[in-house]
Each structure stands twice: as structure tokens, then as C-alpha cells.
Amino acid sequence: MKKGITTISPAFEDIMPEEYRQLVAEGPFGKDLGLGDLGTFKELIEEHPLCAGCGLALGIRLIIASLPAPENTIVVGTTGCSAILFPQLAMHNIHSLFGNQSAIATGLSRALRLRYPDQPKDVVVIAGDGGIGDIGFSFTMQAWFRNEKFTTIMLDNEGYSNTGGQESGMTRQGIALNMAPTGKKYPKLPMVELAKTAGCAYVAAVNPSLARRLGKMVRRAVLVAREIGSTYIQVMVPCPTNYKFSPSETLKQAKALNPQPIEYISAEAEQLLKEAEK
């Protein structure tokens, strides 16, 4: 983003919304802020309409605050709970259709590399488990096989929440949800292993109670995607509404489901990160 693009014309200053004025004065663009700075700057998400105790809302808040260069990052989403939040994100973000996010991101990242050869533009797919693991599975895998240079972040709440709590491929075996009235018949999809097999240079899985760890992973995944190729992070974001637990228990559930973070870094990515994190 060129400097000053968000600056308000003096003639319009008094009619611009308060939140936009705050964003210009105290926003994170061009300031190299991270998770540790939360609370000291105006965040890019202004409220959200998601449920009380939504794990996904927390996940997105932490992910967005961890982006290494939000002023040059474009988010590609897909249908689902996250698509209800993204219209309130003060970053360019695309909702195209359900499941085609990796194909959209492929075209977008290639176009931006052509148009801005000297200015990195990070493309980050942020989508749910149904969007990535089921309806968009083929496009996700194919983008990884092609080693497209963008990051994919799955918000894994183990089901289709926005449509009323249906089973997804990421639901654990045996759990009864809508459309799986007698319990899911097959295991949770091994997306982390598939990402490694498909050739992703950086693969991680984490729950949002480990906020600093998550922040570091987002930063690493974006930097590796910028220089080397596809990267993947799976964030466990349980859904109190459809899994029927108390909204105050979300983090407890997340910790129980994903107690141990996973991080895989290819040798090439390791080298790059060593330089970047010096």
C-alpha cells in the first residue's frame, strides 16, 4: 500500500466514521506490529456478528493481528461463519463462492506478482474446515501440488456451523451431528499429513490458547509462502453453538482437542526463517 492512501481528505474528515478515523490514526498499517501489541493499536476487525464464545472469532482476531504486512495482504475467504465476519475486516478480502478459495487465490497471487514484482503482496486463504476439507478439497490439494505461493489457514470447528451444525470431513468419528444422525462413520481428515505429502514447505497445527505460538506460526507461514511456496496452518476453533458446550469453555475444549502444537518446516523454509528471524 502506497503511503498516505488511507489519509482522509480534510474536507471529509468530519463525516468519516469514527472507526475509520481511528484506523488512520492508530491502525497497524506499515507499523510492524504483532500479537504482543494487541490493545495498543486499532485492530482491523471492528466488532463481529458471530456467536458468544465463538472459537473462530478469536482465531481470526489473532491471525489478523499476526500478519507480517497487513497493508499488503489480501484475504481470500469462502462461505461459512468466517464469511460473516470478513465484511467487517478493514483489508481487501474476497468472498467468491463456496469451495473455490484456493483457485481464486491462485489467480490473485499470480496477478499480483505480475503487477507488483518489487512489492510483496501476501495472499492468505482463511476458511473453514468444510470449505477447505470437503467442498474445496480438490482446489486446496491442487494448489499445494502446484506449490502456489499463498498461505492456507483452516479454522477447524469440526463441522458446518453457519448452516446449522452438520457433520464435515473434519468431524471426529462417532460424533452425531446433523446429516450424521447415527454418528460420523469415518475418521477426521488427516489434513496436516496431506499438506506435508502435497509438498507444503511449512505446515502447522495449533489451538488459540497458545496465542503467541499461533502468532509466530502465522508470521512464518506468510513469509515462507511469499518466498518459497504453499503453506498450511490448521487452527482448532471449537463451536459452542453446535457442539452444545458453554461459551466460556471454548478454550478448554480447544486445548483438549489439540493439546500439542505441530510444526513442520522444510529444509529450505528453515533456512529462510533462520535469516528472517535473526
Partner 1 sequence: MVERKIVDPEYLLHKAPREKKFLIGNEAVAEAVRRANIDIVVAYPITPQSEATHIVGDLYAQGYIKDYYRGEDEFAVMSAIAGASMGGARTFTATSGPGTLRAFEMFPTWAGARLPVVCAFMCRGVNSPLSIQPDNIEIGWLMDTGMLIFHAEDPQDFFDMTLIAYLVAEQPDVHLPVGVCVDGFFVTHTREIVELPPENEIFPPYNPHLSPVPIMDMETPPIRQMRDPFVMKSNYISYNTHASWQQEVRAASIRARKHITRYLGSAVEVTYPEANILLIASGTAAAQARVAMEQARQEGVDVGLVKIKVLRPFPEAEIIELAQSPERIIVPEHNITGWLAREIKSRIKDSGKVEGGPRVFGGMTMPPKIIFDKIKQNGRMM
At 268, list the grid cell.
529450505
Closest approach, Cβ 69 to partner 1, in A, equals 9
Question: Which one of the spans 81-89, 179-187, 214-222, 226-234 is the region binding partner 1 (CB under 8 A)?
Answer: 81-89
For residues 19 and 31, the answer to whether their CB atoms sit within 8 Å is: no
Give the residue carrying C-alpha cell 462461505: 79
For residues 250 and 170, the answer to whether their CB atoms sit within 8 Å is: no
Question: Which one of the spans 138-146, 179-187, 250-258, 262-270 is the region binding partner 1 (CB under 8 A)?
Answer: 138-146
Q: Among 3, 5, 39, 267, which residue interacts with partner 1 (rule: CB under 8 A)? A: 5
Nearer to partner 1, 60 or 236 (CB): 60
Binding residues with partner 1: total (CB under 8 A): 45
Bridge partners for 200 per DSSP? none
Question: Which one of the spans 135-143, 209-217, 228-236, 244-252 is the region binding partner 1 (CB under 8 A)?
Answer: 135-143
Beta carbons within 10 angstroms of residue 13's beta carbon? 11
Q: Report d(CA 161, CA 78) in Å as an integer.
A: 13
Closest approach, Cβ 197 to partner 1, in A, equals 17
How many helices and strands in the chain, by DSSP H and E?
Answer: 11, 7
Nearer to partner 1, 137 or 243 (CB): 137
| DSSP per-residue letters across 37-91 | GTTSS--SB----PPTT-HHHHHHHHHHHH-S-GGGEEEEE-SSHHHHHGGGBSS
Q: Report d(CA 209, CA 253) in Å as an integer.
A: 10
Nearer to partner 1, 47 or 275 (CB): 47
Helix (H, G, I), strand (E, B) or coil at 121: coil
Give the residue carrying C-alpha cell 526463517: 273
Q: Does 20 bind partner 1 (CB under 8 A)?
A: yes
At 214, list the grid cell.
499461533
Contact set for partner 1, span 103-132 (CB under 8 A): 103-112, 114-116, 121
Contact set for partner 1, span 37-56 (CB under 8 A): 46-47, 49
Nearer to partner 1, 2 or 185 (CB): 2
Q: Report d(CA 222, CA 252) in Å as an integer.
A: 28
Question: Which one of the spans 68-76, 189-197, 225-233, 234-242 is the region binding partner 1 (CB under 8 A)?
Answer: 68-76
Bridge partners for 236 per DSSP? 156
Question: Which one of the spans 2-10, 176-184, 186-194, 231-239 is the region binding partner 1 (CB under 8 A)?
Answer: 2-10
Strand locations in the chain (E) = 73-77, 93-95, 122-128, 151-156, 202-206, 231-236, 262-265
Q: Does 90 bind partner 1 (CB under 8 A)?
A: yes
Nearer to partner 1, 145 or 176 (CB): 145
String marking each residue 175-204 x if it binds partner 1 according to CB under 8 A: ------------------------------
Q: Does 71 bind partner 1 (CB under 8 A)?
A: yes
Instruction: Give the footprint of partner 1 on this chain (CB under 8 A).
Output: 1-2, 5-6, 19-20, 46-47, 49, 71-74, 76, 83-84, 87-94, 96-97, 100, 103-112, 114-116, 121, 138-139, 142, 146
